[in-house]
Amino acid sequence: MTKNKQVIFAKRPLGEPGDECFRIEEVEIPELESDQILIKVCWLSIDPYMRGRMNDNKSYVAPLEIGDIMSGESTGIVIKTSSDAFAVGDRVAAHMGWQSYIVADADDARLMKVDLSNGSLAAHLGVVGMPGRTAFFGLTEVGKPQAGETLVVAAASGAVGSAVGQIAKIRGLRAIGIAGGPEKCRYVKEELNFDACIDYKAGKLAEELAAACPDGIDIYFENVGGDVTKAVAPLLNAGARVPICGYISNYNDEDITQAETPFHILKQLQDVPEHRFFVVTEWRERWLEATRLLAGWVADGSLKYKESIGEGLENAPGYLRDVLKGRNFGKQLVKVADED
């Protein structure tokens, strides 16, 4: 009989989460109760925030407890139902952890139906899913872009950063990316049509950023923190806005509570820019609206994306380490099962 494979959070990491922080378990799939569905997971999303959930620190959501299923979003197919709200064959997204099958209550807020006319199951974990919506709401609602302004986005070849820059271009802004390595920078500039992309690994970040932003920076979309933020900060114009999505450069710190975060760096400036941390759930009631808008831009070619695809749920911990070190190119996914 088919069993549900789960990746369990086994140990809190100090620094990079090694294999000892995870445990693979196989459990029986229970019979459905009234108004439930059984989902076969096809795709798992790997995202930087997962590292933060492994720390025993106060945050915008409770930390994982030892023995919990690792936190994450997946997409898959309803293969059994006892609910009138879902039919067998429905495609769904579920934020219910690293596992190969999911039993969910039909009214669970962590479920969302997937309309394949808006993009593939995989794309609903990327460009038209949580990362795309994060880019859209973070830029438009927190960044408050105006045509003609200059935007800088870190991690510009990633799932969120690549969408931020392209949406900025759609809105009539100059878009400057920061990425690691010549291949990623070439992709950002030549394929995504950013106005420039600076390789932070080349050792001339501050100098090249200043040259790319002769009129200063009006919006800095923060994904990285650390030395990147320090290079951006002196170039921020009066009235600049800084949506803070994350600061991945600190996520593997042994004690992130002692890290010098973007908040510390920005507050040292003489003119402190408008800045705040945000999460995409602030606009949950508008998720479908955003997905449809993003899908339209994908369809007309103005929003492009790249996926890095790994294989096998048991290999997900390694792909998380890759994301935290910037080894992935585009949205990191794990293929868990075929879509059939």
| Confidence at residue 340, expressed as pLDDT on a 0 to 100 scale | 86
Closest CA to 94 of 117, 71, 116: 71
| Confidence at residue 188, expressed as pLDDT on a 0 to 100 scale | 98
Same domain membership, residue 145 and residue 43: no
Same domain membership, residue 323 and residue 259: no
In the chain, what is the greatest distance between 2 CA atoms, to the nearest angstrom? Answer: 65
Same domain membership, residue 241 and residue 330: no
Same domain membership, residue 244 and residue 152: yes
From first to last of its 340 residues, the chain has per-residue pLDDT tens of 689 999 999 999 999 999 999 999 999 999 999 999 999 999 999 999 999 899 988 777 789 999 999 999 999 999 999 999 999 999 999 999 999 999 999 999 999 999 999 999 999 999 999 999 999 999 999 999 999 999 999 999 999 999 999 999 999 999 999 999 999 999 999 999 999 999 999 999 999 999 999 999 999 999 999 999 999 999 999 999 999 998 887 877 667 677 788 999 999 999 999 999 999 999 999 999 999 999 999 999 999 999 999 999 999 999 999 999 989 999 999 999 999 8
For the entire predicted model, the pTM comes to 0.94
Interatomic CA distance for residues 99 and 280, integer angstroms: 23
For 98-150, the pLDDT digits (tens) are: 999 999 999 999 999 999 999 999 999 999 999 999 999 999 999 999 999 99
Q: Which neighbouring-strand residues pair with 151?
A: 175, 219
| Confidence at residue 160, expressed as pLDDT on a 0 to 100 scale | 96
Q: Which domain holds residue 107?
A: 4-126+305-335
CATH number of the domain bearing residue 49: 3.90.180.10
Interatomic CA distance for residues 238 and 252, integer angstroms: 33
| Confidence at residue 250, expressed as pLDDT on a 0 to 100 scale | 80
Same domain membership, residue 144 and residue 255: yes
CB proximity list for 58: less than 8 A, separation 6 or greater: none
What distances in angstroms separate CA 248 from CA 20, 36, 76, 306, one per listed residue?
A: 22, 37, 28, 20
Same domain membership, residue 207 and residue 144: yes
Same domain membership, residue 202 and residue 93: no
Q: Is 89 left (phi over 0), alpha (psi -120 to 50) or beta?
A: left
Interatomic CA distance for residues 19 and 171, integer angstroms: 43
| Confidence at residue 1, expressed as pLDDT on a 0 to 100 scale | 63
Same domain membership, residue 270 and residue 136: yes
Interatomic CA distance for residues 333 and 45, integer angstroms: 5
